Structure 1
Amino acid sequence: MIEVRFRTDQNQRVREVRIQGHAGLSSKGSDVLCAAVSALTYTMRDGIQEILGKEARIRQEEGDFLLELQQDGDAGSELIFATVLKTLQGLAGQYPERLQIRREEDGT
């Protein structure tokens, strides 16, 4: 199961994205859902850091990815996060037992 969590700040802007787990549809290296989520993860990371120039803490390990903005989000970062979220929701609709998405508000 892949679990995705989008955590927002008090202004409802995404502050952190965490992606954990494996889909388990097929063997390592041939799992289409894991490959799709990985591609979206790299797209999100590169969009935030390379295209927008945002500072972000990144932790990337086998089956565990964390992106945490080090500054406030803006319209550009929200656009990237919304695009990735929309695509993930489409994948979750196709694989509901393999991919779950949560959005959490950080009250601080």
Structure 2
Amino acid sequence: MIRIRVLKNAQAVPVGLRSGGHAGYDQSGFDIICSAVSVLEQNLANSVHALTDARFTCEIDEKTGTFLFQLIDQNDEKAGLLLASCLLGLEAVQEAYGNDYLTITDQEV
């Protein structure tokens, strides 16, 4: 199962996300849920880098399937919108395939 934690600041505003695990929907290389999550997360980092001036940290470990993205500039509106868009996509994957493969929870940072 992929576990996603939405990182929120003290004002409950999303400022990043952390994920880990594998969906187990299909074998490696054919798992459409893992693929969807990977594309959304990588697109988040690429989009924030290319389309904003926001500073952020991003760590990816392909072996363990872990991903960490956190905005350093938490007040950047464009970066916040891109993060919200990514979260919307992740929630759509969860709704389509269910909690057996993907869970999303909040974590205050």
Shorter-chain TM-score above 0.5: yes
The count of residues paired between Structure 1 and Structure 2 equals: 106
Seq. identity, %? 27
How far the C-alpha of 1:102 sits from its partner, in A, is: 1.1
Alignment RMSD (CA, Å): 1.4
Rounded Cα–Cα distance in structure 2 between residues aligned with 1:16 and 1:78: 9
* TM-score after normalising by structure 1: 0.88
Which TM-score applies when normalising by structure 2? 0.87
| Structure 2: gaps spanning 5 or more residues | none
- Provide Cα deviations, 1:19-74, integer angstroms capped at 9, x if missing partner: 11111111111111111111101110011122112211111002000012222232
Aligned to 1:101: 104
2:69 is matched with 67
**Distance in 1 between residues matched to 2:9 and 2:97, nearest whole Å:** 29
Q: Does 1:79 align with 2:81?
A: yes
Q: Which runs of 5+ in 1 are unaligned?
A: none
CA contact (8 A) 2:16 2:83 kept: no
